[in-house]
Amino acid sequence: MAFPHRPDAPELPDFSMLKRLARDQLIYLLEQLPGKKDLFIEADLMSPLDRIANVSILKQHEVDKLYKVENKPALSSSEQLCFLVRPRIKNMRYIASLVNADKMAGRTRKYKVIFSPQKFYACEMVLEEEGVYGDVSCDEWAFSLLPLDVDLLSMELPEFFRDYFLEGDQRWINTLAQALHLLSTLYGPFPNCYGIGRCAKMSYELWKRLEEEEDGETKGRRPEIGHIFLLDRDVDFVTALCSQVVYEGLVDDTFRIKCGSVDFGPEVTSSDKSLKVLLNAEDKVFNEIRNEHFSNVFGFLSQKARNLQAQYDRRRGMDIKQMKNFVSQELKGLKQEHRLLSLHIGACESIMKKKTKQDFQELIKTEHALLEGFNIRESTNYIEEHIDRQVSPIESLRLMCLLSITENGLIPKDYRSLKTQYLQSYGPEHLLTFFNLRRAGLLTEQAPGDTLTAVESKVSKLVTDKAAGKITDAFSSLAKRSNFRAISKKLNLIPRVDGEYDLKVPRDMAYVFSGAYVPLSCRIIEQVLERRGWQGLDEVVRLLNCSELAFTDMTKDDKASSESLRLILVVFLGGCTFSEISALRFLGREKGYRFIFLTTAVTNSARLMEAMSEVKA
Amino acid sequence: MNRTKGDEEEYWNSSKFKAFTFDDEDDELSQLKESKRAVNSLRDFVDDDDEDDLERVSWTGEPVGRRTRPGSFQSLSDALSDTPAKSYAPELGRPKGEYRDYSNDWSPSDTVRRLRKGKVCSLERFRSLQDKIQLLEEAVSMHDGNVITAVLIFLKRTLSKEILFRELEVRQVALRHLIHFLKEIGDQKLLLDLFRFLDRTEELALSHYREHLNIQDPEKRKEFLKTCIGLPFSAEDSAHIQDHYTLLERQIIIEANDRHLELAGQTEVFRKHPRKASILNMPLVTTLFYSCFYHYTEAEGTFSSPVNLKKTFKIPDKQYVLTALAARAKLRAWHDVDALFTTKNWLGYTKKRAPIGFHRVVEILHKNSAPVQVLQEYVNLVEDVDTKLNLATKFKCHDVVIDTCRDLKDRQQLLAYRSKVDKGSAEEEKIDALLNSSQIRWKN
């Protein structure tokens, strides 16, 4: 189990430097406000901060008390207040209200706002409007890349998805370009660049512009990572919408992994308290099962438990000296392994219990039918019943989206009836959610002949052809068809199964979905790497509605070692799932590559749906 | 040396001598060189350090992950003092906003570039419409949403809304940024004006409707929803909005009535099962469940009766039966459950029918811990034999399993089942009697 890497697999670059950089910058910024100060931290920044610094570091730099940014009056009595926040309007309003309350009370203090990863003009505008611009000094903490694991970098910006793919706001493109620039500064230029998607293309262009402006910085550096691949989430929604069945994905779907760690509740720890556990390559037990199909995990863990028992048992019949050795050298390791093992067994049990309760088998069957495109009527009925029984609103929405994307939209009759029942089951205000989903292209109604929307044709009449082209682009998400069925056929996403698919010995990336489906995103990456570009994929690219949005940029670089050419950085704009990570890790092992993942945030189907929901639970 | 530099900066930042202009290019160049040197040297510095020794403490104060070596951590700023990295951090971290730009003749592209770098940059010199638009297009071509928004804030302030809207109508990328910006700062009025101008009636209506989420008081919310009814929604959505209003109206009546009933303490069901939450703002199906739970027998004429809800909101049979079943099963009112599926034909014979499939009925009954006698009646009604057998086995409806095996003439399965029933029980006897019977022609 836990497939080893090929002996010739390249070493991963050391990304801990990124943590060090971020920490140094934060310390520098704190020092900019000399003397004792209270620090207000935005909730979303706490976990990322946790991973790079700790309380004692902050204390050393004269942070006195720590507060969470909440919409409550501050109790701080410090003369200096420092705010560490994401650039959000509501944070600005909160800070402004604090400052204004102080002013009313005739109190003067120093205020500093540190925006992470960057400041937005809209935020400054709010400070200005509220009359506190100038009372507050602003800084930026360019902490945009958090290494969550040896091969996983996260920007920890889940809002990237909604901001860009729903609202069309490009505010994070610069942040991403800066992050890529930082990577090329630290790890050398990327000789081979590929990408697909509008956001990917824009980010790439802005990044290249940054490199030009700061010309020379990466020149002459030896590339450490041979390839970079940028991919928009909307190129492949299907994969992100599927239920995950590899262990790490399943843990994420069930317990929600947050910033690389998970809170295991009492039902897992079999004690009365919850436990926060870091999940990464350092957890030896987890590292062996994270990429496994869930059906293998139980067997593996019990084998492991037997081995462990045997090792413990060895102490019988030891003499004093051997025993001393055992206690001083092995016991600690065994105990650690024991602890981890019992945690993961507990997690498995809890997952099994939950999944049996919710008829996971039937759910998976429906998903597979949708992916393969048979028994659509039956699947639609299943979804309907799901809604009628008020099973989780997020789950129902996810299934509807999966049906919509795989079928190029719902037929109008089904759309109306499912929507009505959904509103009746989960609340009429979800009308807003349906509108969002339609705009993002996640849940649409088949239009006769797929005509342009009324607004679009109206606008098109008003302007010249050239501008009309631009407008069509702007409406692309509304008008474009997903063409999933045709793409699936072209790329062979549904493996033909002769007999049972042996999940213990996976033969392709489809194992991450029980052998039923090769993740589209990963297949695209595989194909492009194999062909070293988009040659021969024109039809697929066209079906993906990305005709002008697929690009390749290869520079001949003699300095690139053969080892570096087998390292690939994959950038997911809008989030990637653990299933995709597992699938590409598998591909890497097969081909002797290593993949490094950079994502705006780790995502899953529930997070995508929640991002689209207008009604916060 | 560093200290002097810091002092210098402070002086200029607080300086009122605005005539001073940075020699910006030089400044950037030196910054660049410094960063480059720093980054390269930092690499070595970082590589040498053993990060693993750092104590990791979460914000709750608990240590996370590895073992710690308390007190071993040397302040990083101290550690940095002898390395070139020191100069790196200040440069990167220098508050970009403090760079002032007093030059008046930046071109649109220079201006946009400076904005992108986070520098404060006056836009006041872009006064002609042509200049403004050029600035906007430059920002759009750079792809940086933050800069696009910055320019839009300026345009919004310095152009009449008609002109602004007209220009944005043909610039969709910028338009989307303005819409998002207006949503975020909550400028609802301008947003609605914009949708009206663009003739985006659906978004106009939805944006207005969205406001109801911020109204807590139920009466006020109801009144607000009333104002939404006439908005230009699609025909289908209009009906949803109307329903939303009617539902809340009903809930307000039911809530007032039931709170009274509960307080009076005269009604058995409220005494036995006190309400856990108010019914206000709950979905329709939840309201129906509530009504089936507390008001099942009420005549159609009352607002709180299930039949009335079903008619008013045209709830499909399937949905109605599912919900009523769940509610009555929860109360263990098996008689009502029975009645729910009993139909009479014209000859007066009764027959059991369910619009949802009896396997679902069985599951729901089981979830509400129905007794075996009740369960097996419905298990028997499951049409598909395999499903029936599975359910019967799962829920220990012995008679059903035994009878089904007999009907299937499956001796082997019956034999296997014998080991699952209690020794000496009536079931075992029944099985033995069948196995010994010479009347049955077993298929195996």
Interface predicted TM-score (ipTM) of this complex, two decimals:
0.92
- Lowest mean pLDDT segment, chosen from A7-21, A175-189, B77-91, B172-186: B77-91
Other Cβ atoms closer than 10 A to B246: 16
pLDDT at B165 over 90: yes
In 3-state terms, what secondary structure has residue B229?
coil
Report percent pLDDT > 90 for chain A. Answer: 72
Residue B322 touches chain A, beta carbons under 8 Å: yes
What one-letter code names the amino acid at B292? C
- Sort out which chain B residues have CB atoms less than 8 A from A214's CB and list them: 32
d(CA B98, CA A138): 9
CB contact under 8 A, B209 and A431: yes
Confidence of residue B183 (pLDDT cuts 50, 70, 90): very high
Write down the mean pLDDT value for chain A: 90
Confidence of residue A29 (pLDDT cuts 50, 70, 90): very high
Residue A126 touches chain B, beta carbons under 8 Å: yes
Instruction: Summarize pLDDT for A252-298 with one digit per residue, the tens.
Output: 999 999 999 999 999 898 888 899 999 999 998 999 999 999 999 98
pLDDT at position A369, please?
A: 96
pLDDT at position B167, please?
A: 96
Q: What angle (nearest 5°) sits at the alpha carbon of residue B406, between those of residues B402 and B410?
A: 100
- Sort out which chain B residues have CB atoms less than 8 A from A89's CB and list them: 184-185
pLDDT at A3 over 80: no
pLDDT at position A424, please?
A: 96
Instruction: Summarize pLDDT for A108-126 with one digit per residue, the tens.
Output: 999 999 999 999 999 999 9
pLDDT at position A319, please?
A: 84
Evaluate whether A357 touches A302 at the Cβ level (below 8 Å): no
Task: Give the start-to-end residue ranges of the domains of chain A.
Answer: 15-141, 144-236+482-616, 247-358, 361-407+409-457+473-478
Interface of A with B in 271-330 (CB under 8 A): 276, 278, 282
The residue with greater pLDDT, B46 or B220, is: B220
Q: Which residues does A69 contact at the CB level (< 8 Å), separation at least 6?
A: A40, A41, A42, A43, A83, A85, A91, A94
**Which of B77, B143, B202 is the closest to A170 by Cβ?**
B143
CB contact under 8 A, A56 and B115: no
Classify domain A247-358 at the CATH superfamily level: Sec1/Munc18 (SM) protein, domain 3a (3.90.830.10)
The residue with greater pLDDT, B156 or A462, is: B156
Domains A15-141 and A144-236+482-616 share a fold: yes
Nearest C-alpha in B relative to A65: B59
DSSP-assigned states of every residue in B128-178: SHHHHHHHHHHHHHHT-HHHHHHHHHHHHHHS-HHHHHHHHHT-HHHHHHH
Confidence of residue B44 (pLDDT cuts 50, 70, 90): very low
CB contact under 8 A, A425 and B47: no
Helix ranges restricted to H, B265-397: 268-272, 284-294, 306-312, 317-330, 334-341, 358-367, 372-379, 385-394
Query: Cα A43 to chain center, whole Å?
Result: 18
A164's tokens: 């860009």
CB contact under 8 A, B284 and A142: no
CB contact under 8 A, A17 and B46: yes
In 3-state terms, what secondary structure has residue A569?
strand
Confidence of residue A448 (pLDDT cuts 50, 70, 90): low
Interface of B with A in 389-408 (CB under 8 A): none
d(CA A363, CA A371): 12
Evaluate whether A47 touches A259 at the Cβ level (below 8 Å): yes
Instruction: Summarize pLDDT for A504-526 with one digit per residue, the tens.
Output: 889 899 999 999 999 999 999 99
pLDDT at A324 over 90: no
Interface of B with A in 237-266 (CB under 8 A): 237, 240-241, 243-244, 247
Other Cβ atoms closer than 10 A to A94: 21
Q: State the best of A171, A178, A230 to mutate against chain B, taking most chain B CBs within 10 Å.
A: A171
Evaluated on CA atoms B19, B24, B30, B31, the torsion sign reads: positive
Confidence of residue A97 (pLDDT cuts 50, 70, 90): very high
pLDDT at B10 over 60: no
The residue with greater pLDDT, A97 or B70, is: A97
Evaluate whether A524 touches A236 at the Cβ level (below 8 Å): yes
CB contact under 8 A, B146 and A171: yes
Q: In angstroms, what separates the C-alpha of A26 from chain B's closest C-alpha?
A: 8
Instruction: Summarize pLDDT for B369-410 with one digit per residue, the tens.
Output: 888 888 888 998 898 888 888 888 888 888 888 988 888 888
- Sort out which chain B residues have CB atoms less than 8 A from A276's CB and list them: 58, 62, 64
**Mean pLDDT value across residues A476-490:** 78
**Which of A167, A389, A459 is the closest to B322 by Cβ?**
A389
Between chain A and chain B, how many beta carbons pairs sit less than 8 Å apart? 232
Residue A70 touches chain B, beta carbons under 8 Å: no
Judging by beta carbons within 10 Å of its beta carbon (0-12, 13-18, 19+), is residue B306 exposed, middle or buried? buried
pLDDT at B67 over 90: no
The highest-confidence range among A208-212, A612-616, B193-197, by mean pLDDT, is: B193-197
pLDDT at B348 over 80: no
CB contact under 8 A, B32 and A217: yes
CB contact under 8 A, A140 and B96: yes
Interface of A with B in 493-552 (CB under 8 A): none
- Sort out which chain A residues have CB atoms less than 8 A from B169's CB and list them: 459, 462
d(CA A522, CA A587): 9
Confidence of residue A397 (pLDDT cuts 50, 70, 90): very high
Residue A56 touches chain B, beta carbons under 8 Å: yes
Q: State the best of B39, B46, B81 to mutate against chain A, taking most chain A CBs within 10 Å.
A: B46
Instruction: Summarize pLDDT for A469-482 with one digit per residue, the tens.
Output: 444 444 444 446 88
The highest-confidence range among B2-11, B29-38, B242-251, B329-338, by mean pLDDT, is: B242-251
Write down the mean pLDDT value for chain B: 79
Residue B51 touches chain A, beta carbons under 8 Å: yes
Token pair 């699952």: residue: B420
Interface of B with A in 333-392 (CB under 8 A): 356, 360
**Which of B97, B144, B169 is the closest to A138 by Cβ?**
B97
**Mean pLDDT value across residues A340-355:** 92
Residue B225 touches chain A, beta carbons under 8 Å: no
**Mean pLDDT value across residues B225-230:** 95
What one-letter code names the amino acid at A358? Q
d(CA A191, CA A527): 18
**Which of A120, A126, A425 is the closest to B146 by Cβ?**
A120
The residue with greater pLDDT, A456 or A157, is: A157
pLDDT at B20 over 70: no
CB contact under 8 A, A122 and B90: no
**Which of B113, B247, B322 is the closest to A388 by Cβ?**
B322
pLDDT at position A449, please?
A: 53
**Which of B55, B175, B247 is the closest to A428 by Cβ?**
B247
Classify domain A144-236+482-616 at the CATH superfamily level: Sec1/Munc18 (SM) protein, domain 2 (3.40.50.1910)
pLDDT at position B103, please?
A: 52
DSSP-assigned states of every residue in A222-252: PPS--EEEEEEGGG-HHHHHSPP-BHHHHHH
CB contact under 8 A, A61 and B143: no
CA-wise closest residue to A142 among B294, B89, B136: B89
CB contact under 8 A, B93 and A139: yes
Q: Which residues does A322 contact at the CB level (< 8 Å), separation at least 6?
A: none
Backbone angles phi, psi at A308, to 5 degrees: -65, -45
Instruction: Summarize pLDDT for A47-91 with one digit per residue, the tens.
Output: 999 999 988 999 999 999 999 998 777 788 899 999 999 999 999
CA-wise closest residue to A108 among A119, A116, A117, A100: A100
pLDDT at position A555, please?
A: 83
CB contact under 8 A, B65 and A278: yes
- Sort out which chain B residues have CB atoms less than 8 A from A431's CB and list them: 206, 209, 237, 240-241
Q: State the best of A174, A224, A378, A436 to mutate against chain B, taking most chain B CBs within 10 Å.
A: A174
pLDDT at B443 over 70: yes
**Mean pLDDT value across residues A529-547:** 94
pLDDT at position A130, please?
A: 96
CA count, 13 A, side-chain hemisphere, B19: 0
Residue B76 touches chain A, beta carbons under 8 Å: yes
pLDDT at position A500, please?
A: 81
CB contact under 8 A, A54 and B243: no
pLDDT at A529 over 60: yes
Q: Of 3.40.50.970, 3.40.50.2000, 3.20.20.150, 3.40.50.2060, which CATH number belongs to A15-141? A: 3.40.50.2060
Residue B315 touches chain A, beta carbons under 8 Å: yes
Q: How distant, in Å, are the alpha carbons of B335, B368, B380, B426, B434 from that of B399?
A: 22, 21, 10, 10, 12
pLDDT at B439 over 70: yes
d(CA B345, CA B352): 11
d(CA B68, CA A545): 52
Give me the CATH code for the A361-407+409-457+473-478 domain, please. 1.25.40.850
d(CA A583, CA B267): 60
Q: In angstroms, what separates the C-alpha of B62 from chain A's closest C-alpha?
A: 10
Confidence of residue B48 (pLDDT cuts 50, 70, 90): very low
pLDDT at position B435, please?
A: 85
Residue B117 touches chain A, beta carbons under 8 Å: no
Instruction: For residue A149, list its beta bridge partners.
Output: A152
Q: State the best of B57, B172, B384 to mutate against chain A, taking most chain A CBs within 10 Å.
A: B172
Q: In angstroms, what separates the C-alpha of A164 from chain B's closest C-alpha?
A: 10
CB contact under 8 A, B51 and A20: yes
Q: What angle (nearest 5°) sits at the alpha carbon of residue A67, between those of residues A61 and A69?
A: 120
Interface of A with B in 180-219 (CB under 8 A): 185-186, 202-203, 205-206, 209, 213-214, 216-217
- Sort out which chain B residues have CB atoms less than 8 A from A55's CB and list them: 57, 59, 61
